[in-house]
Structure 1
Amino acid sequence: MKLAMAEMDVTVLVAVAFLFSLFAYTGAVTNPVDTAALEAFHKTLQDPSGNLANWVGNNPCENAWRGVVCSAPTGPSNITFVTELRLFDLNLGGSLAPELGNLTQLKYLDVMWNHMTGSIPPSFGKLTQLYLLLLNGNKFTGTLPKELGSLSYLDRIQIDENQISGPIPPEWGGLTSIQHLHMNNNSLNGSIPPELGSLPNVVHILLDNNELTGELPPEIANARQLLIIQLDNNQFASNATIPSTWANISTLLKLSLRNCGLTGTIPEMGGLPLLEVLDLSFNNFTGPIPNQTAFPVNLTSLDMSNNRLTGQIPTSIGNLQSLEILSLSNNQLSGAIPENLGTGSTFQSYGGVKLIDLQNNQLTVNSNSLAELESNSTTHVRYAGNPALCPNAQTITNPLCIPNSDPVSFTYDSVIPIEIPPNTCQSCKYITVGYRLKSPGFSVFDLYSQQFLAYLTAGLDLIQNQVILQDYTWQAGPRLAMTIRLYPTGNNTFNQSEFDRLYQTFSQWRIPDSAIFGPYELISFYPRSLSAYNSASKGGLSKGAIAGIVIGAAALTMLVTGLILFLFYRRRKLPPALLAQIERMNRAKRNPALKVAGVKAFTFEELALATDNFSEEKQIGQGGYGKVYLGILNDGKKQVAIKRAEQGSLQGAHEFYTEIELLSRVHHRNLVMLEGYCDDEGEQMLVYEFMPGGTLRDHLSALSGIPLDFPTRLRIALGSARGILYLHTEANPPIFHRDIKASNILLDNRKVAKVADFGLSRLAPVPDMEGATPGHVSTVVKGTPGYMDPEYFLTHKLTDKSDVYSFGVVLLELITGMHAISKGKNIVREAHQRSLAGLGLSIIDPVIAQYPAEALESFMQLALSCCRDMPEARPTMAEVVRDLEGLGRSYSDIFPDGYSLDMPTQSSRISTGSLPMSYPYSARDRDSNDTSELLSGTVMHVAPR
């Protein structure tokens, strides 16, 4: 009785302390005008993901509304003002409320990478303290309000990648502090206002991919801080030329006027001493290339292709030591190639892939240095289409004479994963950042990757090995997208203040601009926790406020702890049998048993018996999901593979339900069959048919000891393709596999291929209410580096062509025997470059080199067609199956007697004992680069057109 009274006294004291803490601090009050503005904005928003679920109440600052950052309390009433709206990448729809113009203290407005529509309200002209206006990556329409021209503190406008139309207001000449005008990829029209030349601080004018017309204003040269002018893909007036004043902007680093319909002659560029990139391609320039004494010595890229230039190539171009790309193709140039062309130090080096493209001119005399360059460096030289240099007989035999319609592909890579240094804390929790260089001053990133890491590390105030470049890819523009990991030092995680500092360094553009790397943009920042936003929101609270919060939290903790101890004490008195029953009921509520028609539900006891209680002797593999065992079912005859999830594997649980759902509805001879599952006793297991032949990766790695001949590889390719085709066209609804790779293609004892591992698969989109079927599924990026479709990686959009790309990588593995990624080399890139150079067969697996070159070349070209960067350029799986079948028919004479594409000869069988027992989940030889869990939070958005 005394003990009970004591417990009650303690409980009462804890409760009193907690209630007292609730009234210990009344808190700050958000400016009512700001509150009304945010409430109006909230009404216009669409929040399907519930990211703004805590926007409740009438005190946004004190209640720490997500993404709302406030000033410190001021005055006797503790009034706070909204200074920042940080709503970056939250899957928001809706529009910008005009009432946001009433946030008089707002400095940062960031709604990048959402799905917002509507126009920019003219009331934003009242945001007199605004420093950053970040609206890019949405679906905004309407015109640009002239009222923004009065914002004298505005440093950066980013409206790129929207659907904004109309002219650029001449009133924007009043943006006296503006440095960055990023307005590319919209539908802006009319002329560029000459008033932009009066902007005293502007450094970047990015207006590419719009519908601008008129002439180029000479007044732009008056902006004496200009670093970049980028106007590609506009159609200016038919008589528009490059103003002579532009050739004297002494600060200019990049001038890009590709495909602008410009005419006239090209002015001398001697007044641009710092220029690094000059792109004048796809215009109507005539006359000679300026024969000046020296081009800008810092030039890394010079592209004057696809014009009507005449005369000889100036010898001054050959003196450029930093040049990486020289493209003069598709002109009317004549005469001898200068002897010094290609002698620059960068062209002579082995770092990166460089290009000298002189195709389709009237050049007459070859330079000896160019022939040596092709064989002694990583610089590619092309002069096909010059009749005097490339007679018809040399078109095939001379590598320099092989036509190449896409010279840029030499340097613009696909997704290239980077190996993480071994001395990095790989077990530490890291931050993943999607980052994009919007207008880099180079074309070959390999030459600058280490310099870039040093630049970024210094800009983030981190140290070596804290900043890791995970991968990069060139996009249209050209723009360079990359994924970066940030690792902590000492501890396993960043603390809150460091997390916030890193986010703000990226999102508020605190990394200094670089002459080489140019402007950047933040694409994603993962993870973004609620606590990180709230911490930033409460930055201005007083010490008394913090003390009150701490006391209240402590009291609440004591109260909860007391209640838990009390309940635990009460529960200890229950009979053991009743406790066990309660636990079983709770487990059943948390994870109700599955009921799947047509698939057997095994008990835990049955599978434990089948595997000798999951003994080590029965284990045949292990992966990220868990361990895989060979099982013998109770009839003693049937072998199965049992995939057992690790306890507490949340991702595994998701994959578990996904595989059961999908495999229960698909049946095809080239898909691994699901025999059953176990969802019992807190265990999750999948039971498959056993595949004694192991994985395709095993055989290509020679683990089987029996190399595959070409007919067998062709049959494996066709069987796998048919399985994937079934998923795409005959499953109801269709299925995107999302993780096709050589280690997920299994072989039975007759080398019949079956596609396995559906844990990452997604159902294809179904028709909406109006009968229209979306072309993709929007989803987080998951998969295996080296196999992932670059377009899916970048845009977040999964399609059937994503599987086609992955399968193309498998085809390349079959024809070369190489891994998808090996020692930092990407098989797609290697095969593509060699194929363009006419050396595609140089990387054929020697085991099959004796087969007809035409058959091997056809197989290689089919693989490369599947791996094209743009999804619409890839074949469908139906076309892949058709081409593989046609290849088998065309070269049927190479197959052994009795062999067909559907059934091997007896000699092609493999005995059950020729390989270690295999399993349907590719764990035993699981790719070291498989980072599907790592990539689950990486989001890259739609690439610019």
Structure 2
Amino acid sequence: MLWENGYSRTTTMRQAKATLVLLVFMMLLHPSECVSDPIEVRALQGIRNRIGDDLGRLSDWEGEDPCGDHWTGVICTPINGTDHVTELRLLNMNFTGSLAPDLGNLTQLVIMDFMWNNITGSIPPAIGRLRNLVQLSLSGNKLTGVLDPSFGNLSSLDRFQIDENNISGPIPSSFQFLDNLLHFHMNNNSLNGSIPPELGRLPRLAHLMLDNNQLSGEIPGELSNISRLLILQLDNNQFSGPIPSSFRDFSRTNLTKLSLRNCGLNGTIPDLSGLSTLVYLDLSNNQLTGPIPSNLSQTVRTIDLSNNQLDGEIPASLYELRRMELLQLQNNSLDGVVRSDLLSHDSFTNEESVFIMDFRNNNFTDLTPGALLAVPNITLQLGGNPACSASQNLSAYCNVQNGYNLSTPLPLMPVPAGCSDATCDRSRNQELNYGLLEFGSCQCAYPINVGYRLKSPSFAIYQPYADALREYLASRLFINQYQVNVSDFSWIQGPRLYVNLKIFPPNGSAEFNSSEVSRLYSQFATFNISGNRTFGPHEILFIFLGFPYNVSRVETPAPVAGLKAGAIAGIVIGVAAFTAVTAISVLYFAVKRWGLFSSVLGRRQARRYKRIKVDGVQDFTFKEMMKATDSFNSTLQVGQGGYGKVYKGTMPDGRIVAIKRAEEESLQGGKEFLTELEALSRLHHRNLVSLIGFCDDEGEQMLIYEFMENGTLRDHLNATSKSPLGFARRIQIALGSAKGILYLHTEANPPLIHRDIKATNILLDEKLAPKVADFGLSKLAPAPELDGAAAGYVSTVVKGTPGYLDPEYFLTQKLTDRSDVYSFGVVLLELLTSRPPISDGKNLVREVHMADDAGMILSVVDSRMGPYPAQCLKPFVRLAFQCCMDDTDSRPSMAEVVRELEAIWRMLPQEYTSSADNSTASVDANSMPTKSFLPYNPYVSSDIDGSNLVSGTIPPIIPR
């Protein structure tokens, strides 16, 4: 049971006053776990039978009513007649009754969330008066009636979510005035009529989901004018006519998913080549004719054109979509030869990655063999084509009758010897945390179970995205990836993906504390888990709290006559919290108004830093920083991290500097500021960023560095970089960075462990020389008499960046200089591949290892760095792997890393080292030597034996 009070998240501090949020909050419990005792407190008259009845007349409300059994498991909030309700949440509580027109009187209402109940009747037109409403979520009820045109007056609305009801009638054209609308979820209703072309005027709409209704008429081409649209999902309606030719104009948007399955469409498929961000295209089960369009974007991963009347040959460009996962062309009239010799694809470094081609029941007459068909990740189905009758050699592709299973269970994590699920107390919901098994840790804990559903994912096969989903949820919930486990999943009608999540406590804990349970509840239930393009919008079906979360751990005082103990607790907590919030708000505004906050903080911080002697580092005033950055003009912002924003500034003497300014809420992080200031003032090396000065004035904290003209190393490794780094330049950057880290470990006074080595903390100057930056997490290196570190390590709370974090340090909390070596090894792999350490849930270290084990290391080498000497690749890869060894003692020291990189640098021919000194070392492929140099070779060409796909040899191939 949870209860929230205080200010609405959408209420700014300037608007804050004595405002009580009626957050009749969130019992997303499994039905069997609902609290059995009703909590009888002063309640809203009549709300049991008509949600909102009398709620809109708060100033006149004087009555008292027990909540009654209908409110089982809910704390009813006492309301003072002068207060304003800003939030109403009645989630998954089996409510019945209807929505009363008096809800329209709650003019301060920001959120109305009644999802997953049994509410009947229509949506009252009076709700159209709620001009402050941001979220209207009524999904999963039994609502009927029609949508009133007055809802177009909800100009603040961000989320309009009424899916899975039985609402009928047309979509009002007045909805064009919902200028702030992002989420328009009206799927699975009985809406009829045509889609108003006026919806094309919605300026911010991201999700337009109208699937599974009874809509008719032609699809309006004006929808392509929605400039921010990500998902257009109109499946299972009764449209007529063709796909609008104007849909080619979606090239002006970031459209990720276009799904028009089973819509009664005819005509040809328009030119979609301009949709440069398209990932998912489903036009299946229509009456489309003509050829398959060519030149689709390389971003496409799922194409379903099955069950149409398409003819002609498969265009050659379709074979060259390098990220394809599912290509469904079955049950058409396609002909010609299947050209598997034209297939090209990015490497399959994930065991669950697949490329499925379903070409059954067409008129294909033959198959041209290709090397990629030998890759186990690739499946081709040709059953029902003339080619299968003409040749016995195609039986491997023709005898598959039952299609393929898109719901194959995920492989289980192997359990280490001596570790068993039987050691957990399953009778009390304790389970083995499988996420820790890959770290070799066997722990039982009490998870929180969540029914989680992706409403419109941009993929059709989940298994390759399992790790990505865990990483995505972990980052949005601010927990570690090993805490998120998907116990099972299933595709349901939509298609929508249901996953059963288990959220485990952190390493070393058997259970969450109560505040963390509340926070996780809130994250899930209030849409604070923001969507992304891969996973799309989501919804929560239930949150199950078993033992120990369903057991109160607070001593309850004896009940007062007439009220139950739970009621008293609710009232006391509510009054105390409300009083505290009000007092804090009043104090906050009083202090701000009198100008005391910044001056007191400024004096306090100034006293703190006056004790620091910073030789050679200038102390600047806040006014000087304002002038240097044009009052912190956003156009001068060049970066942002967890500590604050970084601005490009111009000092009075004309020097260009980088100014790192702490955010106001980060001022409590003075320890990081102090650590970095002290550390940088003592560090002097050509491969470390130099500190010029600092500002500790008027409650502000800033560090002023030399400005690095060419940004971060990560900037130059991104696919969007216009000047890709050549191989020699990458070796040079690796060597310079390694020398900077070596200085920290051995020559700094005192020596330091950086703790956050990563590509974004390696900066490049105007000559692309590297300098290591950001010492906010640095730690004194261990010494026999310091920090209890006689064993050569520092025991410290784990900090760092996911993907770069030393796994041994993560598990043991024992920090050594080899932890920096591991992080640097990940940077070396980034230099080799240009891939980030974690991408789509894939771990770079693991992926490159798998590619190397499969003899396909060239498939992960960045093609943009041009040719490179064959003799240099192997030692570079070997060094990166050695740095990333799981065992700390097996990793080299930074001194050994520097020596190895110097050896690789000496191996480079002179033309490479000279080009690295004068340019980014990009080499024209037309001018490269033809002997013993290896360019990028993503896959073998059609004239190379397929056995090379799995061999350990590297053929000397020249770019074509």
Query: Structure 1 length as normaliser, TM-score?
Result: 0.48
